[in-house]
Amino acid sequence: MLEKCEGIVVRKSDYGESDKIITIFSREYGKFAVMAKGAKKSNSRLSAVSQLFTHAHFLFRKGTGMGTLQQGDLVASQRRIKEDLFKSAFATYMVELLDKGLDDRKVDPYLFELLAQSLSFINEGYDEEVVCFIFEMKMLPVYGVQPVLDRCAHCGETEGHFSFSIRENGLLCHRCSGMDPYRLAISKQTVRLLRIFYFIDLNRLGSISLQEGTKKELRQVIRTYYDEYVGVFIKSRAFLEQLDRMKTVLRDDSKDGENKDT
């Protein structure tokens, strides 16, 4: 029986000498795996549509076990993501985060739109790390956790100077700061962005340019929160952290060069 769906490739693996097994996250059927026969061959009609991040309309044959991919019509190949190391690294982390958090065959049109729009933004040249921050924040409910970001997690006040408490599961105002001596000190800008990233519709996102200091605070809050409350191992995150260290070295070298010039 032939079925058709709109989907995005979120995982792929080689099978034998010429085949691939790809996992598609689809609008209509949720996440499922299919065999793409001959897709490893460069001249295969399935080669392009079986690449990671590819957004396409897929035609597949259902079976008692794994289905078989018959053809695919590209919606977006996400070529710029595939050609850029940093874009590809963040996109890989995002699809792995989704893959780990979503059960097979669970239909979630909102999450499908979120992934499609996020990949599209990165491909169009938006800051890939900012898009990833937003994606991480919006994936938290998928993992069953919801930080308190619209008020103080302890007293409920909406006004004041806020820090972030892992222990209290959200923001702490200055009046309640003593509740957690290990709270993370963050700027007003970071508080505002955490709220925006969690609550805003991604389609309303404009161009955002963040200073490295703000990114560092967001990175610390989000990653620490994931470690404490989600606890899922994402293989590609280690590579992101390696890229962070690489960028730090490059910035330091650039500053040293400027100092020598002056």
Give a yes or no: residue 119 inside a domain: yes
Bridge partners (DSSP) of residue 86 are none
Give a yes or no: residue 67 inside a domain: yes
Higher pLDDT, 259 or 70: 70
Name all contacts of 42-46 with Cβ < 8 Å and 24+ positions apart.
44/18, 45/71, 46/20, 46/71, 46/72
Given a contact cutoff of 8 angstroms between Cβ atoms, the answer to whether 9 and 39 are in contact is no
Domain that holds residue 93: 1-125
Neighbours of 237 (CB within 10 A): 18
Beta strands in 62-207 (DSSP E): 67-76, 162-165, 170-173
| 190-230: pLDDT as tens digits | 999 999 999 988 888 877 889 999 999 999 999 999 999 99
Give a yes or no: residue 223 inside a domain: no
Give a yes or no: residue 60 inside a domain: yes
| Residue of 232, 242, 197, 240 whose CA lies nearest to 218 | 197
Report how far Cα 37 is from the mean position of its chain's Cα atoms: 29
Give a yes or no: residue 134 inside a domain: no
Here the CATH number for the domain that contains residue 92 is 2.40.50.140
Average pLDDT on 80-105 reads: 96
Does the pLDDT at position 253 exceed 70? no
Give a yes or no: residue 56 inside a domain: yes
Q: What is the pLDDT of residue 119?
A: 98
Give a yes or no: residue 244 inside a domain: no
Give a yes or no: residue 32 inside a domain: yes
Average pLDDT on 161-182 reads: 98
> Which of these ranges, 17-21, 213-217, 235-239, 244-248, has the smallest mean pLDDT?
244-248
Domains in the chain, number: 1
Left (φ > 0), alpha (ψ -120 to 50) or beta: where does 236 sit?
A: alpha
Q: What is the pLDDT of residue 252?
A: 65
Q: What is the pLDDT of residue 256?
A: 62
